[in-house]
Amino acid sequence: MMNHHTTARALFDAALDAADPRQAVRRALQCDGDRLRVLSREYDLARVHRVFVIGFGKASAAMAQGVEEILGAKITRGWVTVKYGYTAPLATDKIYLHQAGHPLLDENSLRGTRAILELLDSADENDLVLCLISGGGSALLELPVEGVSLDDLRALTDALLRAGANIVELNTVRKHLSQVKGGQLARRARGAPILALILSDVIGSPLDTIASGPTAPDATTFADALAVIERRGVRAQTPARALDHLARGARGECAETPKADDPLFARVQNVIIADNARACDAAQRAAEARGYNTLLLSTYLQGEAREVAQVLAAIAKEIVATNRPIARPACVIAGGETTVTVRGNGKGGRNQELALAAAIEIAGIESVLLLSGGTDGTDGPTDAAGAFADGTTLARARARGLDARVFLANNDAYHFFQPLGDLLMTGPTNTNVNDVIVMLVG
> Is residue 14 packed enough to be buried (19+ CB in 10 Å), middle (13-18) or exposed (0-12)?
buried
CA–CA distances in Å: residue 123 to residues 183, 263, 306: 17, 18, 48
Inside any domain, residue 388: yes
Q: Average pLDDT of the chain?
A: 96
Inside any domain, residue 214: yes
Same domain, residue pair 281 and 268 = no
How far does the chain reach from its first CA to its final CA, in angstroms? Answer: 9
Domain total in the chain: 2
Residue 231 CA from chain centroid, whole number: 23
Same domain, residue pair 270 and 405 = no
Same domain, residue pair 268 and 305 = no
Same domain, residue pair 318 and 263 = no
Q: What is the pTM assigned to this prediction?
A: 0.86
Same domain, residue pair 311 and 198 = no
Q: What are residue 184's DSSP bridge partners?
A: none
Asked whether residue 2 carries a pLDDT value surpassing 80, the answer given is no
Q: How many CA atoms lie within 13 A of 400 on its CB side?
A: 14
Name the domain boundary from 240, 274, 308: 274
Strands 41-44 and 51-56: unpaired
The tens digit of pLDDT for each residue in 261-282 reads 999 999 999 999 999 999 999 9
d(CA 55, CA 183): 15
- Is residue 123 within 8 Å of residue 129, measured between CB atoms? yes
Same domain, residue pair 314 and 350 = yes
Same domain, residue pair 264 and 399 = no
Q: What are residue 227's DSSP bridge partners?
A: none
Inside any domain, residue 432: yes
Inside any domain, residue 89: yes
Same domain, residue pair 120 and 215 = yes
Domain span including residue 198: 21-143+178-220+257-274
Mean pLDDT of 296-311: 97
Asked whether residue 176 carries a pLDDT value surpassing 70, the answer given is yes
Model confidence band, residue 3 (pLDDT cutoffs 50, 70, 90)? confident
The tens digit of pLDDT for each residue in 373-406 reads 999 999 999 999 999 999 999 999 999 999 999 9
Q: What are residue 389's DSSP bridge partners?
A: 370
Inside any domain, residue 291: yes
- Return the CATH number at 332: 3.40.1480.10
Inside any domain, residue 69: yes
Strands 293-301 and 330-336: parallel
Cis peptide before 193 (omega within 30 of 0): no
Same domain, residue pair 117 and 194 = yes
Residue 161 CA from chain centroid, whole number: 14
Asked whether the CA dihedral 28, 170, 61, 215 is positive or negative, the reply is positive
- Return the CATH number at 264: 3.40.50.10180
Same domain, residue pair 390 and 412 = yes
Inside any domain, residue 236: no
Same domain, residue pair 199 and 284 = no
Predicted local distance difference test score (pLDDT) of residue 1? 45
Mean pLDDT of 202-209: 91
- Is residue 51 within 8 Å of residue 74, measured between CB atoms? yes
Same domain, residue pair 135 and 190 = yes
